[in-house]
């Protein structure tokens, strides 16, 4: 992205606010640490800005502390209100307790109980409402308007941005030399705005790079539209940065101070979580690893500048039940595991030929069931050294006349198919769809009640890994001329969906 010279926000004023920010009554000066092992592996000097070491495990305490420290006596008597599913909630609760004011935090119904308990342990009251941040935020604003409580926005107001900007100030104070680039995890834009503004005025030669999850690119959407625009669907995997709309104020700042915008996949994020663990022995939440995932992606593509690269490690509020899923996906993100479908003749000796073609590679999973007298389809998980080795697997298979389809980036295959191989449907016409259900009681009932009873459910698989959304694969017996009516009703459920009937993985293993 290219910066604009439009003076929409006074950056000198914002930097003065950063210099004067009242954050250290609550926030720590976290270290900027060199990562020697990772630096050697990547051929770049990588530095971690360790915001996971804050008492609430996130940089969000900085913005909340600075905003609430500036309340007058009348405002403190009215109390504060906020909306958040995690890190901002804990920051506001801690700051409200420190400055002796009452806090009410509106949280989505899907918020894990451990996060609700953490907020309540700091003395704040919680209100669970809505299926996502936007619905909780609307309720919080309505409560503030009705009661006179002060609404503390998680990213889109000057004092919050100034508090987050102290991260950038500390990086420049702590680094032995000016870094070439800083990669910043980006959701609503408060952190990247604050860091970017400070670097723009004090280290303009440093590239400020905003990194977003591929399924939650609010800044990317805003840049394309020429201003903040709501996303139709938001992937909540990296929930700490999964917002629907970029901030209006943060957008104005970012167009002045951010040099590049990029996105990373969930698998790349999980691989970065593992890299952080191996460097620090800390398990960060997915949002906390987004910056490093971006730096690694740039290094591997040749787009990272030479010199020191700083990444923000933004949070360690990870649910324990998500760790296994992240471990599983990390190897895909690092190119160290491959999931593929192979088609071999259903005849004597074919299976031995296939195993020989695998060579000495370690197999992580193997799924097969007889389905046809002419061809057999095998689903295989394989350990690989890197992304180049994946291509070599396909080459080796082709040399043995074995056709391979790489499913390593196929969400249906990774989330559902690997747990379902072995059962095929009958010969009735079938349509298959992938959904995201809010992880709350009654979601499935609501889904089924929306549908006309004339469509029989022919396939159903659900998985959840501690996120706010559960992933569902659902098949229906439906004639081709009735698909339009079915999809109209499915759209009425309000759940994000994607048609998967033509997905090759479905065709190989599940289609009748």
Catalytic residue IDs: 60, 314
In whole angstroms, give the CA distance from residue 329 to residue 343: 25
Helix axis angle, 113-121 relative to 87-98, nearest 10°?
10
CA distance 465 to 236: 12
CB 409 within 8 A of CB 497: no
Encode 259-268: b = buried (16+ Cβ within 10 Å), e = exposed. bbbbbbbbbb
Let me know: does 451 contact 490? Beta carbons within 8 Å: yes
Strands 80-83 and 45-50: unpaired
Closest CA to 382 of 402, 361, 368: 361
Contact 427, 363 (CB under 8 A): no
Q: Strands 337-345, 308-313: parallel, antiparallel or unpaired by DSSP?
A: unpaired
**Dihedral (CA of 303, 308, 314, 318) sign:** positive
- What backbone phi and psi angles, to 5 degrees, belong to 189? 105, 0
Residue written as token pair 């139709």: 232
Reference 294, options 392, 219, 243; nearest CA is: 219
Q: CA 13 → CA 10, 20, 158, 185, 404, distances in Å?
A: 5, 11, 10, 24, 58
Q: How far apart, in whole angstroms, are the C-alpha atoms of residue 409 and residue 419?
A: 16
Q: 151: how many CB neighbours lie within 10 A of its CB?
A: 16
Residue 186 contacts residue 219 (beta carbons within 8 Å): yes
Strands of the 469-477 sheet, one edge to the other = 456-463, 469-477, 430-438, 497-499
Distance from the Cα of residue 138 to its chain's centroid: 22
Q: Are 78 and 148 in contact (CB under 8 A)?
A: yes
Residue 512 carries which DSSP code? -
Q: Give every CB contact of residue 468 below 8 A, 6+ residues apart in sequence.
A: 85, 108, 110, 111, 131, 132, 236, 239, 438, 439
Based on its alpha-carbon atoms, the radius of gyration of the chain, rounded to whole angstroms, reads 25
CA quadruple 125, 130, 136, 139: dihedral positive or negative? negative
């Amino acid at each position: 992205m290219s910066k604009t010279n439009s003076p929409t926000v006074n950056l000198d004023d914002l930097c003065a606010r950063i210099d004067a920010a009242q954050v250290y009554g609550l926030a720590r000066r976290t270290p900027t640490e060199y990562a020697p092992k990772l630096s050697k592996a990547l051929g770049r000097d990588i530095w971690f800005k360790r915001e996971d070491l804050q008492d609430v495990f996130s940089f969000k305490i900085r913005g909340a502390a600075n905003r609430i420290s500036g309340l007058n006596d009348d405002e403190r008597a009215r109390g504060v209100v906020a909306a958040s599913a995690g890190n901002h909630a804990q920051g506001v609760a801690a700051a409200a307790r420190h400055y002796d004011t009452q806090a009410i935090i509106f949280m989505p119904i899907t918020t894990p109980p451990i996060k609700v308990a953490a907020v309540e342990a700091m003395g704040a009251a919680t209100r669970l409402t809505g299926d996502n941040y936007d619905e909780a935020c609307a309720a919080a604003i309505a409560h503030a308007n009705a009661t006179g409580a002060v609404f503390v926005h998680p990213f889109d107001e000057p004092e919050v941005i100034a508090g987050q900007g102290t991260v950038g100030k500390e990086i420049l104070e702590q680094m032995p030399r000016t870094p070439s680039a800083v990669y910043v995890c980006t959701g609503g834009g408060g952190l990247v705005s604050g860091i970017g503004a400070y670097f723009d005025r004090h280290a303009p030669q440093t590239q400020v790079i905003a990194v977003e999850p591929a399924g939650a690119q609010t800044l990317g959407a805003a840049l394309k539209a020429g201003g903040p625009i709501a996303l139709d669907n938001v992937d909540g995997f990296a929930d700490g940065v999964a917002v629907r709309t970029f901030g209006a104020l943060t957008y104005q700042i970012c167009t002045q101070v951010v040099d590049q915008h990029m996105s990373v996949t969930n698998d790349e994020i999980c691989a970065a979580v593992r890299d952080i663990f191996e460097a620090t022995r800390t398990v960060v939440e997915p949002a906390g690893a987004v910056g490093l995932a971006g730096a690694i992606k740039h290094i591997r593509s040749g787009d990272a500048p030479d010199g020191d690269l700083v990444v923000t490690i933004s949070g360690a509020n990870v649910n324990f039940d998500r760790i296994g899923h992240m471990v599983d996906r990390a190897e895909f993100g690092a190119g160290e595991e491959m999931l593929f479908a192979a088609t071999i003749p259903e005849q004597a000796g074919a299976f031995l030929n296939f195993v020989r073609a695998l060579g000495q590679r370690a197999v992580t999973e193997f799924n097969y069931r007889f389905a046809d007298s002419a061809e057999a389809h095998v689903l295989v998980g394989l350990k690989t050294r890197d992304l180049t080795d994946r291509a070599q697997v396909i080459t080796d298979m082709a040399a043995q006349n074995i056709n391979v389809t790489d499913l390593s980036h196929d969400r249906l295959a990774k989330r559902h198919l690997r747990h379902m191989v072995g059962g095929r449907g009958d010969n009735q016409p079938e349509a298959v769809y992938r959904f995201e259900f809010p992880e709350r009681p009654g979601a499935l009932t609501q889904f089924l009640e929306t549908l006309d009873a004339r469509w029989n459910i022919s396939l159903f698989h659900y998985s959840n890994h501690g996120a706010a959304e559960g992933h569902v694969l659902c098949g229906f017996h439906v004639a081709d001329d009735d698909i339009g009516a079915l999809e109209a009703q499915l759209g009425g459920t309000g759940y994000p969906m994607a048609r998967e009937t033509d997905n090759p993985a479905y065709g190989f293993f599940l289609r009748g």
